[in-house]
Every structure is written in C-alpha cells, then in structure tokens.
Structure 1
Amino acid sequence: MSTSSRVAGGGVPSGSASSIVAGVVCGYHLLKIDGYSRTKEVPNGKWIDSCPFQVGGRTWHVSYYPNGDESEYTDFICLFLCLDDAIAETVKAQAKFSLMDKYGKPVPLHTATTATSDFSVANSCGLDFMERGELEKSEHLKDDSFIVKVDVTIMSEFHAQETPSIVVPPSDMHRHFGDLLSSKAGVDVEFRVGGETFLAHRLVLAARSPVFRAELFGPMKESATTNAICIDDIEAEVFKALLAFIYTDALPAMDQQEESAMAQHLLVAADRYDLERLKLICEDKLCNRIDTNSVATILALTEQHNCPELKAACLVFLSLTTNLEAAMKSEGFEYLTKSCPGVMKDLLMC
C-alpha cells in the first residue's frame, strides 16, 4: 500500500505494493517537506503532522520535528511514526526512514530504522533522523524541499497474500526535458545573449511562458522564427539558468554567494517572462539572504517587480534600528531612495 503527503504544500506522486506474508505486513509512505526553511521556525519539541495513510488496515501518520523532539536534539530533524487508531490488541511495528535522492532512490547514509515497538503501549516510535546542517549542505535539499520515504513493517499472525500492484516510480519527466535541451535535438529557435548563443525549442518555451508564447507564436512570430533573437538586458549565465528551469523545473546547484546574486537576476527574468513559480522560488531564496548589505537592493527589486511578501520581510528586517543604520551606509541604499521613493514612507511606518 502506498500513499504520499506534503508538509506545507500539495501531494507527491508515489506507488508501491504491499503484502502480508509469513507474519509480516509491509507498506510505505512518501513525505515531502516543502518550504523547509520556513519549518525551521517551529520550536524545539513541537512538530508538524503529515496526512494520514494506511498500512496493514491501520491508519498512521508521521510527525516531523524540524528542531528535534527534546532539548538535546535541537540540531537534528526528528521523525516519528504514529498510530492514529485506538486499539486494544498488541500491534508491533517498526519504521525505516530514508532520505530520497533526485532519482527517487534512498540515500544509504541517511537511512535509519527504529526498534520494533508495541503501539498498544505507546502510539509512536521515532528517532533523530539527521542533522539539519548535513541536509542543508547536501544536494538532496532542492528548491527548499526534500523527500523522506517511510517504510512501515507490522508484525502479524496472518498469512494471506494480497494481490500485488504495479510500482510506479517518481516522475522523471524533468530529466528527459533536460536531456532534450542538452542534446539540442530538434532545436528551432536561437537566442544571442551576452555574446553567447543558446538553442532551444519554441514549443517548450511557449508551453512554459506566456511571454515566449506571444513572442514565438504571436504577431511577431515571423521575425522570431527566421532570425536569432537578441536579448541585451540579461546576462548569459542568468539566461542559461532560466532555460534550465524552463526545461527541468529546477535550478542548477550554486554556492550561497552565487545563489544570492543569481536569485536577484533570475527574479527579474522570471517576472519578465511570467514564470510565477521561478519568481516565488527566487523570492524564497532571497528571504533567507537578507542582510544589511543586500536589503536595499532586494527592497528595490520588490518594488519594481511586485513582490509583497519579500518586501514585508525586508521591512521587518529594517524595523530594527541597528539594521536600518547599517543598511543606510550600503551602496544600494542611495539607489533605493532615488528609484523607489515610496519605500521611504513604508520605512517611516515600520
């Protein structure tokens, strides 16, 4: 039996088979933590529950502790398997928690199994899954989200065999489209950006961006079809990352310093090409990069590209006098006052 749920968002496609053989019932659940950075605001000892799921005719859920379940585990992510049903008989089970890689495979280094527990005595069992620092440095935290597979094994005295079902792996459409872009097979549109040439597929661009759709299939389509399209106000590396996102729905790996600058440039490009999800991803990344040197530049971007939540985060940061005084000495603050005079009124109201 398989199910999936997401903390702070929608669902994750999944599939599996379950069986009752030789006294054991097995099943799994996929849990996606979406908006990981925001879940870190949950205090130590507090948790977020997943959607309920079924294994062995019982209803279960996973409790996710972003900052540990006890004071000594504040640097750890802790996970607990919980039984929702009220029971009188003995139910013995164990849980195996596995961090999933980008291909939907468990990461052996970050796979751990609980001891077998009697859920008629205590309705949960869990463990300190991994240190937050390890997760944040790993490639498995993508777009501020990660996936954990929860394998549930229930000890049973039954010996019936269930009809198996087909195991459906996670979608890998993004990989195929990424390969299509890399191979340049069938490309039919050319862009010249910052002295570099980029080849792409008009149908893919039009499907992802209404702006590209208008440019490539609207009244101006003839010139866009027969000539290379020159883009003068976007850097080549930014356009390369933009194309990669259009094809794969993900951003390339970057270090923290690169990520902050790239997120600012990509936010502008995302707004220009009406890529709302990319724009929100950039806003989220910048929310975690606000400091006295960057806040003025980021605040100017929020005014120019309509980012109210990111703007609110900047104003909260500047509401502290020490932060405001330091930010006023930055290079970007003078530009902010000249280009976005309305922001000064907002600052006075903080």
Structure 2
Amino acid sequence: MPTYSHVGGDGLAPGSASSIISGVVSGYHLLKIVGYSGTKEVPNGKRVNSCSFQVGGRTWHVRYYPNGWMPEHIDFISLFLKLDATVAKGEAVNAKFKLSLLDQHGKPVSSYTRICNTIDFSVVKCQGFARFVERVELEESGHLKDDSFTIKVDVTIMNQCHAQKKPSVLVPPSDIHRHFGDLLLSKAGVDVEFVVGGETFSAHRLVLATRSPVFKAELFGPMKEGTTTGAIHIDDIKAQVFNALLTFIYTDALPAMDKHEESAMAQHLLVATDRYALERLKLICEDKLCNCIDTSSVATILALAEQHHCHELKAACLVFLSSPNNLDAAIESEL
C-alpha cells in the first residue's frame, strides 16, 4: 500500500508533515433488538432502521425487517446494510460486510453468520440477507435472552485513501481533572463546608459556582448560604451520593463503585443532578440506568424518568415493558 509524504524543497524536514495512506478501513456496529416480541407486530415488508453509524468516513444504518422483506420471506428476519450518504459522481464505495448473531457471551454464532463479498455501494446503496434467520429457529436457539438479541455488523471498505497529519510534538491528553481532583483531596484553600448524613465535606465556592448554576445562586446570590460562614446542612442527600457529586464537579468523572451499587447510586445521583442542574452528569446517570433496567427495577426507573424528564430513559423502560413476559414479571415483582 503506497504512502506519500511531503518533503521540503530544500531537502530539510518541513515544520509539519502529513501522509496520504491508501488501504482498507474496517469498523463494526452492534445492533441490539430489545423487546423482540413487540417487533413481531411490524407488518411484512415494513422495516425498523437502526441508529446511524460511521465506518471509513461513510454513514450507514441497518434495516431490520422483523417479518421479512417480501411476502415469500414472512417467516424470516431480514437484515440489510444501507449506505446513507450521497456519493459523488464517478466515485466508488467498494465494501464487504458480515452480519453475525451474537451468543450470550458476545461471540458470533457461526451458523447464524452471513457474509457479503465486495460490492459497490455507490451503485446498489443497500444490500443484505432476506433470509438471515428463521424466526422459529431464533426463538428456539437459546440466543434470545430476556426477549433480546444482538447483531454485530462488520464493515470493511476497500481502497480508501485518507490524510493523516503527523504532529511535530506529541501533546498528552488534558489532565486538568487530575489537578482539580488533587485540589479537592488536599483541601487547600477550601472556603465552604457541607454537613451531609453526619459527614463533613469541604469545598471551594468558586469551583462549585463555576460548575453548577444552583450552587452559584446559593453561594454568591442573595440567599442565606451566600453570607453564612458556618457549615451548610443538607438533609435530603446521602453522604455517599454527595461525595460522588463533589467528585464529578471537580474531575468530570464519577468515583469507582461496586457494580452491584451502580444502579442505586445512579438513581440517587439522578435526583441530585436535577437539583443542582448538572446536565452532563444527569445524562451519564440516564445512560447507566438504561443498562440497568430489569423486571425488579423498571417501575422505579420509569417513575424517576417521568419525574425528572428523562425522555430517553423513559423510552428505554417502555421498550422493555413492550414485551408481555417482561410486563408480567414486572407486575409480579411489585405485588
């Protein structure tokens, strides 16, 4: 594969450098079908599109036909890969792809893996497998768990050329979060204290006000906390939750926590983030809870999503409950 590099006219290395690299570009996308039973209600010939994803600078999506692409495929699940972007005249997008049903360990199942050899997507736009898997086979295979299954889409684009800049100096990633984390731990220059759940937390008014408009109003506005020199008491947040909140404010990351505590902590933090208007942390909690939905927690999480206006989290709960089995089990867990 050829590589072309720029060289200065005087024979010396230039102040900056770049390369044009020709070769193949590969990537993959995981498509999880949650609430499979609900998708069986989609009529034959009708599809549900996946979210868009990118490979090789191109945008793609998967077309999922739960009851087959054409009348003759009504007993099958059909899957197709679609190129979204408009292709310039005379330009070819030669790609091959593979669709694999994953087992419960995230490994491709060889008997349910389909490979499409290289085709020009600038011409066909959409290609796939009308008889990817028979629904009865899928339902009896053991790969359908909690009414869900996952498809891995591997895409390889041939003869791609892309520019790559070679930096003259290797710059490390930003570490400002580490410095602010050290500042919180050292307590150097702290000027405000909070008493939460019997524990005392020290912090810096300016840092809190910079990160949260609510803290800014409380600590620098005409409120009681803005003029007090004593500790501020917070009675409706647990100490562990407030500690995680402070850690995020200073470091933009959550402290390490036990996997079994993650769901409960995310629920408590979601309430706290709404109170202090920490939108990014709220979205992080929402995302974590989307992955924690089960029959015992879905009612609580759905109520939280409603109360705190978490639209994506609410949608994830409703998709989960669209399965009659999940709905029945969730009702039983509440009784």
Name the TM tier (shorter chain): 0.5 to 0.7
Aligned residue among 168, 177, 186 for 1:183: 186
The answer on whether the counterparts of 1:267 and 1:282 sit within 8 Å (CA) in structure 2 is yes
Given the alignment, which residue of 282, 286, 291 partners 1:279?
282
Can you list the C-alpha shifts for 1:57-116, whole angstroms capped at 9, x where unaligned? xxxxxxxx9xx9564998479xxxxxxxxxxxxxxxxxxxxxxxxxxxxxxxxxxxxxxx
Query: TM-score normalised to the size of structure 1?
Result: 0.52
Q: Choose between structure 1 and 2 for higher RCO, CA contacts under 8 A separated by at least 6 residues.
A: 2
Q: Distance in 2 between matches of 1:192 and 1:218?
A: 20
For these two proteins, the number of residue pairs brought into alignment is 211
Question: How far did residue 257 of structure 1 move?
Answer: 1.3
Instruction: Provide Cα deviations, 1:131-165, integer angstroms capped at 9, x if missing partner.
Output: xxxxxxxxxxxxxxxxxxxx979xxxxxxxx9x73
Contact 1:189–1:224 (CA under 8 A) maintained in structure 2: no
CA distance in 2, matches of 1:272, 1:302: 14
Whole-angstrom distance in 1 between the partners of 2:238 and 2:304? 17
Query: Match of 2:250?
Result: 247
> In structure 2, which of residues 7, 25, 30 is the aligned counterpart of residue 40 of structure 1?
30
The question of whether the paired residues in 1 share the 8 Å contact of 2:218 and 2:225 is answered with no
Tell whether 2:282 aligns with 1:292. no
Q: Where in structure 2 are the equivalents of 1:1-350 lying within 5 Å?
A: 19=17, 40-41=30-31, 48-49=54-55, 51=57, 69=98, 71=100, 75=106, 122-123=158-159, 165-221=168-224, 225-330=228-333, 333=334
Deviation at 1:236, TM superposition (A): 0.5
Note the residue ranges of structure 2 that are not aligned, 5 or more in a row.
1-14, 22-26, 34-51, 59-95, 109-156
| CA 255–152 in structure 1, closer or farther in 2 if over 3 Å, else same | farther
Fraction of identical pairs, as percent? 67
SS at match of 1:266: helix
In 1: Cα distance, 2:99 partner to 2:296 partner: 36
- Structure 1 unaligned regions, length at least 5: 1-16, 28-32, 53-64, 78-118, 126-150, 154-161, 335-350
1:247 Cα deviation from its structure 2 partner: 0.6
Post-superposition offset of 1:285: 0.6
Aligned equivalent of 2:4: none
Alpha-carbon contact 1:292-1:326 (below 8 Å) kept:
yes
* CA distance in structure 1 between the aligned counterparts of 2:311 and 2:261, rounded to whole angstroms: 24
Quote the Cα distance in structure 1 between the aligned partners of 2:315 and 2:159.
Answer: 41
Instruction: Confirm or deny: 8 A CA contact 1:18 1:26 kept in the other structure.
Output: no
- After TM superposition, give the deviation of residue 253 of structure 1 in Å: 2.0
Do the aligned residues in 2 keep the contact of 1:189 with 1:225 (CA within 8 Å)? no
TM-score (norm 2): 0.55
Contact kept? 2:184, 2:203, Cα under 8 Å? yes
Closer, same or farther: CA 185–271 of 1 in aligned 2, 3 Å: same
